Amino acid sequence: MKIQSLPAEEVLKHLVVPEDGLHQKAAERRLSEFGPNEIKEVKKKSLLKKLTEQFTHFLAILLWVGAFFSFLSEYLHPGEGMLTLGFAIVGVIFINAGFTFIQEHRAEKALAALRKMLPASVRVLRGGEEREVLSADIVPGDIIFISEGDRVPADARIIQASGIMMNNAPLTGESEPVPRTSGSFEGEFIESPNIAFAGTTVISGSAKAVVFATGMSTEFGRIAHLTGAVEPGLSPLQKEIIKVTRIVAAIATLMGVFFFALGFFIGRSFWENFIFAVGIIVANVPEGLLPTVTLSLAMGSQRMAKRRALIKTLTSVETLGSVSVICTDKTGTLTQNKMEVKRVWTASPPRHPLIKEGSVGNSSHDMLMKISQLCNNAKSVDGKYTGDPTEIALLKKAVETTGELKAERISEIPFDSERKRMTTINKVISAGAEGLSTLNSQLLTSSFTAFTKGAFETVLPLCSNVLMNGIVAPLDDAMRREISGAHDTMTGKGLRVLAFAYKEIEESYKLKVKSEKLELESDLTFVGLIGLEDPPRPEVPEAIKKCREAGIRIIMFTGDNSRTAEAIAREIGLVKEAPVIVEGRDFIRMTDRELRGALDNKEVIFSRMSPKHKMRVVSILKGEGERVAVTGDGVNDAPALKMADIGIAMGLSGTDVAKEAADMILLDDNFATIVNAIEEGRAVYENIRKFVSYIFSSNIPEIIPYLAYAIFRIPLPLTIMQILAVDLGTDMLPALALGAEKPSPGVMKRPPRGPKERLLNFPTLSRAYLFLGPIEAAAGLFGFFYVLNSGGWKWGEALASDNTLYMQATTACLTAIVISQAGNIFACRSMRESAFSIGFFTNRLIFIGMAVELILQLFIVYHPWGNAVFGTHPIGFRIWFMLAIFGISLFAAEELRKYFVRRYSVV
């Protein structure tokens, strides 16, 4: 039998627990059987394994092989400079691994945060004695005592309750305190009012309860398991980078093997062929791609931090740009997590034929405010309010409207889930508001009044009169219909509606309150209704509008009922038509096929949801090819945050668990910040494509010299070390400058890119390899042959690697590539728009990158250290000016191509 359905008196028998509690030996046996009351960690990858993976991916293995053969070549055939090459390649491997590991690794603290949410010790009854026991030593069957301020150590069935109110926000995400009782319950376990769940907090009152689940067996533990066991998977960008590196590495390897064999066929020696094959591989592999991408993402995360979005996982910067669905929690995310009085209604017709001149001579509105203030357990100290959010909202409204009343509370019938109402008996000492009538103030000072507030359906049937214009009138059927209509109108707007009534009593009646509750809460005078809501964040409607324009669908998750959820959704513009609303109890019975059908609708709301439900929705959305972002702030959100493509936690209101499980934290809890972050994410992806095009453009002038060397038997125009000088030196900062480009106009007017869209698509590759690259290759070969011919070189003449003329010629080839790349950086700022329309000075980092690029090239060309490392020799500045023509020509050619693209709408 379910523990929540048992009567309180049978719970102890069911769990085999004596009335005086477990004896110490029995508790020790159960501790040995069930284990300590702790959250256990799911086994994770070790730091060593994570670090090892950075050295063993496909690109790294290819470079390790190249380094091995370089060292082997130096050992078998010294003096060819292969030792330097080997160390350079190993350096590339460590640079890539270091950047990736340091930036991507973060401590998994979610489970540690969960542990902090369980108390260190708790009061228990063992062997008839009440004692303090460590939370870890609590076992199923322990009788525990919880009171105001306590955090519940384990799932427990309440057997005695005294006005206890619990805050279940850590579990459900909903902050409104809920009452707990000891009576049996036949509904869903998670909704049981007789269960105190581990990790939740007692707001008021006290209870005696019996523990029935500890550690990982609690609802809290199940969430911990879901959070720890979920594998986040690779981001879209990570998958793209893996594909790119594998394709490029495979091409490089095939070319190296092919031309190694071709070298033997045309009669070259083994070492010549080997150097050539390694050169082809190094020229094809974009060694600087991974560190450049990583640094670009880091720059993007810094820009997002300035816009109040903290990125924890670098690849999440780009993932945001591809998001097609946002699954958002309502409370605390779309709303402010503050209850607020939205509407006040009282019955106030001009006159009523049956009106009796009554004893209360004040307006109905004033009386409504009196009840709101006096039938209330919230407190105000020095302007600071504490207590239940609903009661705080009522108290604030009352004090602001009628001033503070000083009153003596004689007695109270507390709220409970069965009656759904609360009644207090008060004697008002004085009225602080100037607006209160003298008659009413005298009345309240001289007599006792019972004030009642609660659910409409439980208060109105107890009323026989109604207060209208300060006069008591009989409550006839017509007025009941009018009141019911007002109630329906308010609930239709998503408001939580409370009804208010009162009854004048004799002083002697206070002594009979406990035995005559039913008589006290009868023949009441109805006063009015107050509608409250958790108001939406003011920025949310505009943020949702922007998401719609960007083609991003928003699905709302909430623990509220469907009617409230839909009303809030309409108020913020989330739904405009007839949305599909799925409640938790219906969700459980739905098959995956039915759920997919529901998710296919344009507007979807999920209400009364639990953590495992959210995970299932995210899983199905991802299975349908959607890129899913999940927002949330509670423990209940953590598993879904972890499973999503990107998890977004609230920084101010979010729990530690949610923050640790998320990839991004909104520092201002502003839903609108997500839109800014998505815009940055889309810009980052555009910029990565720009600098990938920039980097790949220099691959052609690095490859063609090797092809010419193999086919035409000329001196090698570009050495391997000079290739690395471009890939890891001169190209790096300009590429990073492209990563700082601002979002292009209309980036948030386009739909998210599809999952099949490639980072290296055909237009990007053809532009780099077939258009820009050949221009740079022509520049490099021109510089090489110009210097050779100027020095008197004859075709077919072999030159030693330390020959001055040869070193000057290779230096000219390298310089030509660098100068061409200087023109290329302006060409790559946009695929379609002219650099003149963008503005040359809108990205000043480009000029800094160009300056560093030229300074580094001057060092390589003119400094002895640069000459020694890269095999270069100084050249005349006249050659620089001649080669500059190619940089200008490349820029002009690209501007002409963009013109035709815009003119003829070529994609």
- 126 and 179 in contact (C-beta within 8 Å)? no
Query: Do 812 and 906 sit in the same domain of this protein?
Result: yes
End position of a domain, from candidates 162, 197, 229 = 229
746 and 646 within one domain: no
Residue 655 is predicted with a pLDDT of 66
Task: Indicate if the pLDDT at residue 607 is higher than 80.
Answer: yes
Give residue 892's pLDDT.
94
User: Higher-confidence residue: 884 or 634?
Assistant: 884
Q: Is 342 inside a domain boundary?
A: no
Q: Is residue 83 pLDDT above 90, yes or no?
A: no
pLDDT confidence band for 880 (50 / 70 / 90)? very high
What CATH number does the domain containing 665 carry?
A: 3.40.50.1000
Same domain for 897 and 767, yes or no, is yes
Say if CB 728 and CB 853 are below 8 A apart. no
Q: Are strands 201-213 and 143-147 parallel, antiparallel or unpaired?
A: antiparallel
288 closest CA partner among 821, 755, 706, 855: 821
Using CA atoms, how far apart are residues 234 and 238, in angstroms rounded to an integer? 6
Distance, CA of 402 to CA of 792 (rounded, Å)? 103
Residue 79 — pLDDT band, cuts 50, 70, 90? low
221-272: pLDDT as tens digits: 877 676 655 555 566 666 777 777 777 777 777 877 887 787 777 777 777 7
Asked if the structure places residue 384 within a domain, the reply is: no
Q: Tens digits of per-residue pLDDT, 115-148? A: 454 456 788 999 888 888 888 899 999 999 998 7
Asked which of 152-166, 341-355, 561-575 is least confident by mean pLDDT, the reply is 341-355
Q: Is residue 422 part of a domain?
A: yes
- Report the range of poorest mean pLDDT among 84-98, 159-173, 425-439, 893-907: 425-439
Most confident listed range (4-8, 575-579, 651-655, 787-791): 787-791
89-93, 662-666, 793-797: least confidently modelled range: 89-93
Confidence grade of residue 440 (pLDDT, cut at 50, 70, 90): very low
54 inside domain: yes
Tell me what the mean pLDDT of segment 200-214 comes to: 87
Domain presence at residue 113: no
* Sign of the dihedral through C-alpha 194, 199, 203, 208: positive
Q: Is residue 291 part of a domain?
A: no
Residues with catalytic function = 329
Q: What's the confidence (pLDDT) of residue 89?
A: 76
Q: What is the mean pLDDT of residues 497-526?
A: 71
Cβ neighbors of 403 (< 8 A, separation 6 or more) are 431, 432, 433, 434, 435, 436
Residue 208 pairs in a beta bridge with 145, 160
Residues spanned by the domain of 66: 45-107+230-285
State the chain's mean pLDDT as an integer: 81
pLDDT given at position 237: 67
| Banded pLDDT at 475 (limits 50, 70, 90) | very high
Q: Is the pLDDT of residue 528 over 90?
A: yes
Instruction: Based on the fold, state whether residues 213 and 253 are members of the same structural domain.
Output: no
**One domain for residues 170 and 23:** yes
Contact partners, residue 891, CB within 8 Å, separation at least 6: 823, 824, 826, 827, 835
Q: Answer whether residue 801 shows pLDDT above 90.
A: no
Residues 137 and 177 reside in one and the same domain? yes
Same domain, 515 and 407: yes
Please give the tally of structural domains in the chain.
5
| CATH code of the domain in which 693 resides | 1.20.1110.10
Instruction: For residue 628, give the 3-state DSSP assignment.
Output: strand
CATH number at residue 212: 2.70.150.10
Same domain, 784 and 885: yes
Average pLDDT on 92-110 reads 60
Q: Are residues 731 and 799 in the same domain?
A: yes
Res 818 pLDDT > 90:
yes
Question: Does residue 328 register a pLDDT over 50?
Answer: yes
> Which of the residue ranges 25-34, 37-46, 103-112 would you say has the lowest mean pLDDT?
103-112
Give the residue with greater pLDDT, 312 vs 866.
866
Q: Tell me, what's the pLDDT at 464?
A: 95
Choose one of 197, 213, 229: the last residue of a domain.
Answer: 229
| 219 plus 235 within the same structural domain | no
**Structural domain includes residue 293:** no
Model confidence at 198: pLDDT above 60:
yes
Q: What is the pLDDT of residue 355?
A: 37
Per-residue tokens: 392: 């705080």
**Dist. CA 92–CA 69, nearest whole Å:** 16
- Domain ends where: 497, 528, 559? 528
Same domain, 873 and 727: yes
Residue 99 — pLDDT band, cuts 50, 70, 90? Answer: low
300 belongs to a structural domain: no
Q: Same structural domain for residues 101 and 135?
A: no
pLDDT for the residue numbered 211:
93
The predicted model scores a pTM of 0.66
Q: Are strands 405-413 and 421-431 parallel, antiparallel or unpaired?
A: antiparallel
